[in-house]
């Protein structure tokens, strides 16, 4: 069965963006790029919210063809451009991008059907509302957190407050020379239908 993998860049204090979506704290190096490339090359699709899908659609198809981009970036962009994309959008007002289909909401039956489909794992980038819904439904199989050595102290948190704790089991931890640490976790308490 395909896994749902949430891959997020986060600060040490759990923020994924500044209060106005600032991302100037990122430390992207060759090891981070290699992880991202290997993740998408081994995956079958992306599951994105409407805004992240629009941001990606506006960037990656162009980057795939841009001779000024590094080959590593173009290779990643070409893979993302050709992958299956599932976008969650109630409005249906989504960006045009090849291999995209829309789901109106995070429906547990539809997500379980996706997981039972053929192809590689499904990666979730950004899309906090989608992630929160998947977590509530216990449908995330792995969290890949690229923890950056910085405190933002304010911003957009990876997880909502006011929810019960969820226990995770460490799969691996890999420090990069930039100080970023890639930590992979899987949920401990899962519903049988989600596995």
Residue, of 11 and 21, whose pLDDT is higher: 11
pLDDT over threshold 60, residue 195: no
- Which residue in this structure is represented by tokens 């000024």? 68
Whole-angstrom Cα distance, residue 138 to residue 146? 21
pLDDT (tens digit, 9 = 90+) per residue, 128-178? 999 999 999 999 999 999 999 999 999 999 887 777 888 999 999 999 999
Structure tokens at 96: 């045009």
Q: In this predicted structure, what is the pLDDT of residue 190?
A: 60
Q: In this predicted structure, what is the pLDDT of residue 191?
A: 53
pLDDT over threshold 70, residue 192: no
Q: In this predicted structure, what is the pLDDT of residue 120?
A: 93
Residue, of 92 and 80, whose pLDDT is higher: 80
Please enumerate in sequence order all residues whose Cβ is within 8 A of that of 109, keeping only pairs 6 or more positions apart, or say none: none
Q: In the 3-class helix/strand/coil scheme, how is 38-55 assigned residue by residue?
A: HHHHCEEEEEEEHHHHHH
Work out whether strand 142-148 and strand 15-17 pair parallel, antiparallel, or are unpaired: unpaired
What is this structure's pTM? 0.91
Q: Above pLDDT 70, what percent of the chain?
A: 97
Residue, of 164 and 105, whose pLDDT is higher: 105
Q: Above pLDDT 90, what percent of the chain?
A: 81
Q: In this predicted structure, what is the pLDDT of residue 164?
A: 81
Q: Give the mean model confidence (pLDDT) for residues 33-51.
A: 94
Q: In this predicted structure, what is the pLDDT of residue 189?
A: 73
Q: Are 154 and 19 in contact (CB under 8 A)?
A: yes
């Amino acid at each position: 069965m395909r896994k749902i993998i949430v891959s997020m860049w986060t600060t040490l204090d759990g923020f994924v963006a500044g209060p106005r979506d600032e991302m100037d704290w990122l430390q992207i190096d060759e090891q981070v790029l290699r992880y991202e490339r290997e993740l998408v090359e081994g995956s079958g699709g992306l599951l994105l919210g409407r805004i992240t899908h629009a941001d990606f659609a506006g960037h990656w198809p162009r980057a795939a063809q841009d001779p000024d981009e590094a080959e590593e970036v173009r290779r990643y962009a070409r893979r993302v451009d050709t992958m299956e994309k599932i976008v969650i959008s109630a409005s249906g007002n989504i960006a045009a991008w090849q291999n995209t289909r829309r789901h109106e909401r995070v429906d547990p039956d539809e997500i379980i059907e996706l997981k039972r489909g053929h192809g590689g794992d499904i990666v979730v980038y950004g899309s906090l509302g989608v992630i929160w819904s998947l977590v509530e439904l216990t449908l995330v199989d792995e969290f890949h957190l690229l923890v950056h050595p910085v405190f933002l102290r304010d911003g957009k948190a990876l997880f909502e407050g006011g929810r019960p704790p969820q226990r995770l089991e460490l799969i691996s931890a890999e420090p990069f020379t930039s100080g970023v640490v890639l930590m992979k976790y899987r949920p401990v308490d899962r519903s049988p239908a989600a596995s």
